[in-house]
Amino acid sequence: MRVLVTGGAGFIGSHVVAELLARGHQPSVLDLAPPEPPGPGVEWTVADIRDPAALARAVRGVDAVCHQAAKVGLGRDFADAPDYVSVNDHGTALLLAAMAGAGVGGLVLAGSMVVYGEGRYDCVRHGRVRPGPRAPGDLAAGRFEPLCPGCGAELTPGLVEEDAPADPRNVYATTKLAQEHLAAAWARSTGGRVISLRYHNVYGDRMPRDTPYAGVASFFRSALERGLPPRVFEDGAQRRDFVHVEDVAAANAVALAGLGEVPAGTLRAYNTGSGEPHTVGEMARALALAFGGPEPVVTGAYRLGDVRHITASSARLRDELDWRPRVAFDEGMARFAKSPLR
Ligand SMILES: NC(=O)c1ccc[n+]([C@@H]2O[C@H](COP(=O)([O-])OP(=O)(O)OC[C@H]3O[C@@H](n4cnc5c(N)ncnc54)[C@H](O)[C@@H]3O)[C@@H](O)[C@H]2O)c1
Ligand SMILES: [Zn+2]
């Protein structure tokens, strides 16, 4: 299969390229960043995803596109919003227009679990409930758990499924949701097929270093490298699903192979997680232990755009695309403690 991987120079994209090569496919790459020695036979376009001429050339002759290029992370402040929308949404619209022009009918999108906002919660009296964003006053007072909007009782967090309503809580999340809507609109209008892989917290080799755009595992790993303890927000009991980048790359490969099963004109979403939820505090401890560095410090600090618990069921991906995560949490963190960052 000839596959254009946008963002193929990035953390996840570079693993997708390697995985496709290993499976005998022909990946090509479009990325703003120049190649770090790519595999033999990989054609590179160093260009902005918002460059229509470069896109038109890059999509010519491919069977499908694997769209990883994006501006990621939470950003510095709201002044970043126009840039997120420009790269992630305008960029996706331009990519889809180029695909429509060239008659490319398949897309695998790097989606995100951030589209759900808070995870799934159940109240003993009210059943499934949807707590809104947490109040700044509660966070400042160290009350981190969202409570039942009906009765104020404590809630039990559970696994989100793909049909849960979307509730993006920050600019990045909004742009990731809009990417899915744009892709679905493209599919309807062209008869194309889309799979959106809603990744959980991806970690592993070549994860970018700590910047306002990086993920939590990178913050902890970068601190340890400097001899500093990982600084854990809130009380450390936030639940996440940390999925290894090699498993995410394999999910992209099976999604590309499975595009033909998606009904023409539609998008199908798949949660992409390890299925093994852990708290952020557990992750910090596992990493510090494997690194042989200082114990994590739980700071009580918080960010307004963060959600408390978000863990999803990846049963659909296992059942329909026969994908299995291979890197378990302990092994993955032990490897990540020694991995090169970018
Ligand atoms: N890392 C995670 O935990 C995670 C979780 C959910 C979703 N995702 C999604 O996965 C995808 C890949 O993320 P990543 O973690 O590998 O990030 P990354 O920053 O390592 O990779 C993104 C790549 O996109 C490229 N890029 C950025 N802006 C561009 C532009 N204007 N034109 C062309 N290329 C551009 C960058 O150069 C980079 O190589 C993104 O779509 C992201 O939203 C990541
Ligand atoms: Zn209740």
pLDDT in tens, 251-278: 999 999 999 999 999 999 999 999 999 9
User: Which among 31, 114, 170 is the best mutation to test ligand 1's pocket, defined by most ligand atoms within 8 Å of the CB?
Assistant: 31
Task: Indicate whether 227 pLDDT > 90.
Answer: yes
Can you give the pLDDT at residue 328? 96
Can you give the pLDDT at residue 342? 83
The size of the chain, in residues, is: 342
Reported as a single tens digit per residue, the pLDDT across 274-328 is 999 999 999 999 999 999 999 999 999 998 878 899 999 999 999 999 999 999 9
Q: Are 75 and 171 in contact (CB under 8 A)?
A: yes
Reported as a single tens digit per residue, the pLDDT across 87-130 is 999 999 999 999 999 999 999 999 999 999 988 999 999 999 99
User: Which among 11, 207, 220 is the best mutation to test ligand 1's pocket, defined by most ligand atoms within 8 Å of the CB?
Assistant: 11
Can you give the pLDDT at residue 252? 98
Closest Cα partner for 335 from 217, 197, 200?
217
The mean per-residue pLDDT over the stretch 56-62 comes to 98
Model confidence at 212, in pLDDT bands (50, 70, 90)?
low
% of the chain at pLDDT higher than 70: 98
Which ligand 1 atom is nearest residue 215's CA?
3
| Ligand 1 binding pocket, CB closer than 6 Å | 7, 9-13, 31-33, 48-50, 68-72, 87, 91, 110, 112, 176, 199, 201-202, 208, 215
Can you give the pLDDT at residue 305? 77
Q: Which two tokens stand for residue 146?
A: 């969202």
Task: Indicate whether 213 pLDDT > 80.
Answer: no
Task: Indicate whether 210 pLDDT > 90.
Answer: no
Can you give the pLDDT at residue 39? 61
Q: Where are the alpha helices (DSSP H) in the chain?
A: 11-22, 52-59, 81-84, 91-102, 136-140, 171-190, 216-225, 245-258, 280-291, 315-321, 329-337
Which ligand 1 atom is nearest residue 48's CA?
32
Can you give the pLDDT at residue 339? 86
Alpha carbons within 13 A on the beta-carbon side of 248:
31
Output the pTM of the full model: 0.96
Q: Are 5 and 18 in contact (CB under 8 A)?
A: no
The mean per-residue pLDDT over the stretch 320-342 comes to 93
CA of 72 to the centre of ligand 1 (A): 6
Can you give the pLDDT at residue 208? 87
Biggest distance spanned by C-alpha atoms of the chain: 61
User: Which among 16, 45, 72 is the best mutation to test ligand 1's pocket, defined by most ligand atoms within 8 Å of the CB?
Assistant: 72
Reported as a single tens digit per residue, the pLDDT across 150-193 is 999 999 999 999 999 999 989 999 999 999 999 999 999 999 99
Task: Give me the chain's average pLDDT, please.
Answer: 94
Can you give the pLDDT at residue 209? 83
Model confidence at 211, in pLDDT bands (50, 70, 90)?
low
The secondary structure element, H or E, covering residue 196 is strand 193-199
